[in-house]
Amino acid sequence: MIHAHKPDEDGYDLWLRYVPIEDMSLLHTYRAAITNIMQPSGSLTLNIAQNELVRGLEGLLGVLIPLTNTLTPGAIVLGKPTFAKLETESIGDEGYIITSTQGVIVIAGNTDIGVLYGVFHFLRHLQTHQSLENLPIISAPKLKYRVLNHWDNLDGTIERGYAGFSFWDWHKLPDYLSPRYTDYARAVASIGINGVTLTNVNANALSLTPQYLQKAVALSDLFRPYGIRVYLSARFSAPIEIGGLKTADPLDADVIAWWQTKAEEIYRYIPDFGGFIVKANSEGQPGPHDYQRSHSDGANLLAHALAPFGGIVIWRAFVYANENPEDRTKQAYDDLVPQDGKFEKNVLLQVKNGPLDFQPREPYHPIFGAMPNTSLVLEVQMAQEYLGLATHMVYMAPLFKETMDAETCDGPLAQTITGMAGVANTGSDRNWCGHPFGAANWYTFGRLAWDYTLSSEAIAHEWLRMTFSNAPRFVQMATEMMLTSREAPVNYMTPLGLHHIMARSHHYGPGPWVTGGRADWTSPYYHQADSEGIGFDRTPFGSNAISQYCSPYREQLSNRDTCPENLLLWFHHVNWQYILMSGRTLWNELCFKYNEGVAQVRQMQAAWDSLAEFVDAARFEHVRALLVIQEKEACWWRDACLCYFQTFSKLPIPAEYEQPTESLEYYMNVQHYFVPGIPESRF
Ligand code: BDP
């Protein structure tokens, strides 16, 4: 392997890596066009924009670009100079225009935040070696709310966090501000994210006490000039836990008054507080159902309290209950769709991409397009809870886009939403996301929330060029690898529409045999394997979940022969001998898919090995070692699942494939302790 002679990097700089441009002719062109920066006057945000520009240009061009007060050719001007006629109406409050006029580069926005976003775009332009001839660039976000959701607990652990511990140092806040907060804010702003929820949706009411609010103030003060609003998760029973009330009934006068007072208090601390995110009546969390009230009663209670201050309530649609005998994937729709139009204007319903729970592949959630009178937010998960934790390389842009491009009852899904939320995959690991490619998903989230028309390929190109190298062979091969990496885990974990067959609780590794305890947390509930076949019948002969989709998609799904094969076992119980489009029987296709997944990981390994000359040894080796783990675990998934399903099909794994090395009993007895991402008490 020929290694690159590049200094080792640890990934801390993420995509904001301002390394010298090696292409000499490009460097000369840039240097000739950029000779000084007109010092902007004014706000903290403009100072940040200016500092980022100076820092970025110094790194990229290898020279310190001086700040000036008089306008000369070769200047970069931040703001709206009078000499440039700029049509800024279309870019709204957050958009920007980057243009070149009279030998000057102008980065303009209607607001300072717009200018900051423009500066980050301009630096990206240079980092990805784009021509300065390709101006103007005019850009504005397509979605209003672009919110990163941290599932961080006050004790420093992170629910489903695989990149270390929380970097919110609650103990030392508000007095000590880690420099990491600033770098976090730069990264977040650079991709246009305009809100962060600091705390886990499985909320601790303490985060709403003055003691913790003072800590949140320090973070929100730091984030404000970066255009980032802070949100907190609110525990529905907080009036009882920290308010001393006997009830949290949303129609109780004392409860109403308590939340009003609480909202006033929060806004005294954080004048631009974004609002609450609430997980209610789901997985044991308290909520309005505890008092026989509806979700809209619960959400409106908080919405009324926040409305005078301009805050919003992000109410999660991830609601289901074991006591409800209905198919789990139908419950949220059944409960919430009839409440369309009953939520206050400042309530947003946050809906996961699929109706179950962030599985490697799900159909889109049928709530999208079904609640035209309610603002919806699409929730995706960058933390790889169901995608191999942080050890598997899985580029999620194709997954997110598959959902966003889906045709709902009310048009393309992305056009039915007002916001996007992403469950963060960050932590205290030096490189932020654990896997060196994990940051691509954080990046993708921001980019798609800003502009959902971007292609997976385009986002991969940008990210790779900024994170690793602009070398064409590298960009092309690594992009292919990233694009393959979405389908690989689907194949080696849950092909053909299988879902929820991972190990219990920590979700690390296969567990198609998991039984016992509440039914909707077991695997057979979902795969329904028996001697006849496998798959969950969601047609009118089964749970009829397909009735929640519109025609013609509904009919397409309901017919086994027209149902997309990648969702076949999500919607149908299919005979082992059923013939698929490949001409193979279902059983043989399952064997094929599981093996294809492993083969894809091996392809990714071979591709990466051929790219050593483009990447510093430290990051190269890190990725290489993680791919070894991924290959091992892909085989583990394949062998365990095929051994298990074979007990129903009673058919051989075709001889052309690798055969399992261990017995089913062996796989069933594999135990893992202290898997990251789950508090010890849950074991
Ligand atoms: C599930 C996770 C659980 C989360 C829950 C949620 O297993 O830890 O609390 O989602 O989204 O995927 O609320």
What mean pLDDT do residues 218-227 have? 98
Ligand 1: residue whose CA is nearest its atom 10 = 357
How far apart (Å, rounded) are the C-alpha atoms in residues 171 and 658? 52
pLDDT tens per residue across span 451-480: 999 999 999 999 999 999 999 999 999 999
Q: Which residue type, as a one-letter code, is found at position 507? A: H
How far apart (Å, rounded) are the C-alpha atoms in residues 366 and 333? 7
DSSP state of 201: S
Contact 209, 239 (CB under 8 A): no
Sheet with 67-68, side-by-side order of all strands: 67-68, 36-38, 75-78, 104-108, 96-101, 137-139
Contact 323, 282 (CB under 8 A): no
Chain centroid offset of residue 201 CA: 15
pLDDT more than 70, % of the chain = 99
Mean pLDDT of the chain, nearest integer? 97
**Model confidence at 157, in pLDDT bands (50, 70, 90)?**
very high
How far apart (Å, rounded) are the C-alpha atoms in residues 677 and 426? 12
Q: Which runs of consecutive H residues, i.e. helices, occur in 62-153? A: 112-127
Active site residue 385: yes
Ligand 1: residue whose CA is nearest its atom 1 = 357
Question: From residue 225, how far is each of 47, 64, 194, 221, 402 by CA, in Å?
Answer: 9, 24, 11, 8, 34
Can you tell me which atom of ligand 1 is nearest the CA of 507?
7
Given phi > 0 = left and psi -120 to 50 = alpha, else beta, which region is 213?
Answer: alpha
pLDDT tens per residue across span 307-353: 999 999 999 999 999 999 999 999 999 999 999 999 999 999 999 99
Given phi > 0 = left and psi -120 to 50 = alpha, else beta, which region is 74?
Answer: left
Ligand 1: residue whose CA is nearest its atom 9 = 202
The single residue of 357, 362, 520, 639 carrying the catalytic annotation is 357
Start-to-end CA span in the chain (Å): 43
How far apart (Å, rounded) are the C-alpha atoms in residues 497 and 564? 9
Sign for the CA dihedral angle at 453, 456, 462, 463 comes to: positive
Joined together, the tokens standing for residue 203 give 């909320």
Is the link from the previous residue into 174 a cis peptide, with omega within 30 of 0?
yes
- Residue recorded with tokens 């509806």: 294
Contact 539, 571 (CB under 8 A): yes
pLDDT tens per residue across span 81-126: 888 889 999 999 999 999 999 999 999 999 999 999 999 999 999 9
Question: From residue 388, how far is each of 485, 556, 562, 662 by CA, in Å?
Answer: 12, 31, 31, 21
- Establish how many alpha carbons lie within 13 A of residue 272's alpha carbon, considering only the half-sphere containing its beta carbon: 15
**pLDDT higher than threshold 90 for residue 67:** yes
Chain centroid offset of residue 496 CA: 23
How far apart (Å, rounded) are the C-alpha atoms in residues 416 and 410? 7
Distance 200 CA to ligand 1 centre (A): 10
Is any ligand 1 atom within 6 A of the Cβ of residue 170? no
pLDDT tens per residue across span 249-287: 999 999 999 999 999 999 999 999 999 999 999 999 999
pLDDT tens per residue across span 287-304: 999 999 999 999 999 999
Radius of gyration of the chain (CA): 26
How far apart (Å, rounded) are the C-alpha atoms in residues 558 and 572? 8
Q: Enter the CATH code of domain 24-139.
A: 3.30.379.10
- Residue recorded with tokens 């580069």: 105
Judge whether 24-139 and 145-467 match in fold: no
Architecture in CATH for domain 145-467 = Alpha-Beta Barrel (3.20)
- Residue 48 has a pLDDT of 98
- Residue 678 has a pLDDT of 86
**pLDDT higher than threshold 70 for residue 497:** yes
Joined together, the tokens standing for residue 508 give 């690390």
What mean pLDDT do residues 175-183 have? 98
Residues contacting residue 589 through CB under 8 Å, at least 6 positions apart: 496, 580, 582
Distance 216 CA to ligand 1 centre (A): 24
Is residue 375 helix, strand or coil?
Answer: strand
Using most ligand atoms within 8 A of CB, pick from 153, 285, 357, 386 the residue to mutate for ligand 1.
357
**pLDDT higher than threshold 70 for residue 683:** no
Active site residue 631: no
How far apart (Å, rounded) are the C-alpha atoms in residues 237 and 256? 12
What mean pLDDT do residues 366-389 have? 98
Return the domain boundaries, the chain.
24-139, 145-467, 490-536+573-682
Ligand 1: residue whose CA is nearest its atom 12 = 357
Q: Which runs of consecutive H residues, i.e. helices, occur in 581-678? A: 586-609, 617-649, 664-668
Is residue 461 helix, strand or coil?
Answer: helix
Among 349, 436, 353, CA closest to 398 = 353
What mean pLDDT do residues 579-589 have? 98
Chain centroid offset of residue 370 CA: 23
Supply φ then ψ for residue 414, to 5 degrees: -60, -25
How far apart (Å, rounded) are the C-alpha atoms in residues 528 and 424? 32
- Residue 680 has a pLDDT of 56
Joined together, the tokens standing for residue 427 give 């932590």
- Residue 682 has a pLDDT of 47
Is any ligand 1 atom within 6 A of the Cβ of residue 201? yes
Can you tell me which atom of ligand 1 is nearest the CA of 160?
8
How far apart (Å, rounded) are the C-alpha atoms in residues 178 and 155? 17
Distance 356 CA to ligand 1 centre (A): 11
Contact 246, 291 (CB under 8 A): no
Using most ligand atoms within 8 A of CB, pick from 157, 159, 282, 518 the residue to mutate for ligand 1.
159
What mean pLDDT do residues 569-576 have? 98
Q: What is the dihedral of CA 348, 353, 359, 361, to 10 degrees?
A: 180
pLDDT more than 90, % of the chain = 96
Using most ligand atoms within 8 A of CB, pick from 277, 282, 318 the residue to mutate for ligand 1.
318
Is residue 585 helix, strand or coil?
Answer: strand
Enclosing H/E stretch for 99: strand 96-101
**pLDDT higher than threshold 70 for residue 233:** yes
How far apart (Å, rounded) are the C-alpha atoms in residues 24 and 6? 18
Active site residue 656: no
- Establish how many alpha carbons lie within 13 A of residue 291's alpha carbon, considering only the half-sphere containing its beta carbon: 20
**pLDDT higher than threshold 50 for residue 53:** yes
Among 145, 104, 98, 135, CA closest to 118 = 98
Contact 322, 286 (CB under 8 A): no
How far apart (Å, rounded) are the C-alpha atoms in residues 15 and 548? 41
Is residue 570 helix, strand or coil?
Answer: helix
How far apart (Å, rounded) are the C-alpha atoms in residues 265 and 346? 19
Is any ligand 1 atom within 6 A of the Cβ of residue 160? yes
Is any ligand 1 atom within 6 A of the Cβ of residue 383? no
Among 418, 451, 422, 404, CA closest to 96 = 451
**pLDDT higher than threshold 90 for residue 679:** no
Distance 363 CA to ligand 1 centre (A): 18
What mean pLDDT do residues 146-175 have? 97
Distance 567 CA to ligand 1 centre (A): 22
- Residue 606 has a pLDDT of 98
Architecture in CATH for domain 490-536+573-682 = Alpha-Beta Complex (3.90)
Q: Which runs of consecutive H residues, i.e. helices, occur in 270-318? A: 295-306
Please report how the helices 210-223 and 179-190 are oriented relative to each other, as an axis angle in degrees rounded to 10.
Answer: 60
Distance 557 CA to ligand 1 centre (A): 27
The single residue of 327, 379, 385, 639 carrying the catalytic annotation is 385
Is any ligand 1 atom within 6 A of the Cβ of residue 357? yes
